Structure 1
Amino acid sequence: MSDNGKITRLFAALGADDPQGWADTEVVENLPQLARYRFLRALSQDIEAWDTASVSALRDDSDADGDSAMDLGRLARLVARETAFSVLCRLADPDSDDLPADLRRQMPGWVLTETTPAGEPTHRSLDCLYEDLNTVVDSSPGTQPSRTVAAGWIWLSNLRPFCEYLAAEVEYDFDDSDWLAIDTALPETDDDQPRSAWYTYPLVGRDRVDLQIARSVNGDEVSVSVQGTVASRVRSRVELLFDIMARYALAPE
């Protein structure tokens, strides 16, 4: 394709945030951006579907509670994303296996290439797809993509280490003054209120994430939502952080 206007309209139909920018890159640099976006969009939908399907299946189990459903859904999405990322890395580098060098030189490799709508190869390769896995989100045309990195609950006693580890992921220097602001605001929150009423604290480093928190008034838990745009690997680590902070009570040194 060489018609910039047509390519822009196709990106818009897929729900791209910047259809003109994607189209310009394809035309000016002769890159298969539309094929790239379509492939990653479909993969993103598959990852999100694991989360939805897992939660729905567990909620059908009368012995499962809402927290268990949330934990399983988060874990399913984490595993799906890490598996997809690993497959894309392997696709980009056929020689990353453990074969001896002399045997590897005799082996065929692989490459993912673009085709025309009629199925004819264009000989343009879709390289390093893993780099953009988190750039393309599951969004339908006319809807806004979610900025939720992860959400759930953790033990109140784990809130400060949770904040410190989260800050480290975005390279923000979390100190006593940050904790004082959060600790002071927390008692006035209630997780039965709408999320817009929760206390929000920004962590701005390499990336920016907004930490939304509210305490369970009659319990020892804190409901937490992390909002922002981060790399796929960071998102996976934050999801794992939720799991750890909800399963274990951390002891100070």
Structure 2
Amino acid sequence: MVDQLMASDDDESRYIALVERFRQFGCGNAEGWARSEIDENIPQLARFVFLRQLWNLVITPEAPRRLNDYAGPNDDGRGGALRRIKECGVASNDLLTIVREAQIDVIREVASILDELNTLDSQYDGIRWGLFEIDDNDCPTRPIDCLHESVDDEDVIPRPQDRRTNG
């Protein structure tokens, strides 16, 4: 009984700390994510942060500068496509929408690839990977899986005020 009470107190302390961490990252349902981590032993904070970092890579209407990086020819021979597209009369907002949707599709596909390792063709036998939470010694602990379940969660998608500067 005493062990259960101590575990309960430890869980409550962890829960409070997790709620605060989720809130620091702008999570609207911090309590739900934290409760799931405690009750189900799912590394929800690591999952949330990983997905949020992916979403931070997506271009936004509030930060279209990254799109302009492709406006002129670059030293590596890339570029110029944006200039040619604009010369054809394509509105910048339309192009931004296309690029954004393509980036979001990539995020969803990355989540699926990480989640669906067991569905690979037989030619990939013996090849395995995974996404894990790691400890202070960089050793894997809990797997971060089922990303596809949370990839489109409104809490994971950064609001403009939560978004880090992305270019």
Q: TM-score of the superposition, structure 2-length normalised?
A: 0.68
Equivalence for 1:220? none
Equivalent of 1:40 in 27, 47, 51 = 51
Query: In the alignment, residue 52 of structure 2 is paired with which amino acid?
Result: R
Equivalence for 2:145? 127
Equivalence for 2:67? 54
- State the 1:69 CA deviation: 0.7
Aligned: 1:64 with 2:86: yes
Query: In the alignment, residue 137 of structure 1 is paired with which amino acid?
Result: I
Equivalence for 1:242? none
Aligned: 1:111 with 2:130: yes
8 Å CA contact retained: 2:59, 2:96: no
Query: In the alignment, residue 78 of structure 1 is paired with which amino acid?
Result: E
For residues 183-206 of structure 1, what are the alpha-carbon distances to aligned partners after superposition, in whole Å with 9 as ceiling and x for unaligned?
xxxxxxxxxxxxxxxxxxxxxxxx
- State the 1:49 CA deviation: 5.3
After the TM superposition, which segments of 4 or more aligned residues of structure 1 sit over 4 Å from their partners? 55-58, 60-63
* Whole-angstrom CA distance in 2 between matches of 1:144 and 1:46: 13
Query: In the alignment, residue 99 of structure 2 is paired with which amino acid?
Result: A
3-state DSSP class of the match of 1:17?
coil
Distance 1:21 1:75, change over 3 A: same
Q: Say which is worse superposed, 31-40 or 1-10, in terms of deviation.
A: 1-10
Equivalent of 1:92 in 115, 128, 148 = 115
Task: Name the one with the larger strand percent.
Answer: 1
Query: In the alignment, residue 115 of structure 1 is paired with which amino acid?
Result: I
Equivalence for 2:98? 75
Equivalence for 1:139? 159
For residues 135-173 of structure 1, what are the alpha-carbon distances to aligned partners after superposition, in whole Å with 9 as ceiling and x for unaligned?
111136xx489xxxxxxxxxxxxxxxxxxxxxxxxxxxx
8 Å CA contact retained: 1:55, 1:69: no
* Whole-angstrom CA distance in 1 between matches of 2:140 and 2:86: 50
Q: Say which is worse superposed, 66-75 or 6-15, in terms of deviation.
A: 66-75
Equivalent of 1:13 in 11, 16, 24 = 24
Tell me the C-alpha RMSD between the 2 structures: 3.1
3-state DSSP class of the match of 1:108?
coil
Q: TM-score of the superposition, structure 1-length normalised?
A: 0.46
In structure 2, runs of 5+ residues without a counterpart are: 1-9, 72-81
Percent identical across equivalent pairs?
A: 23
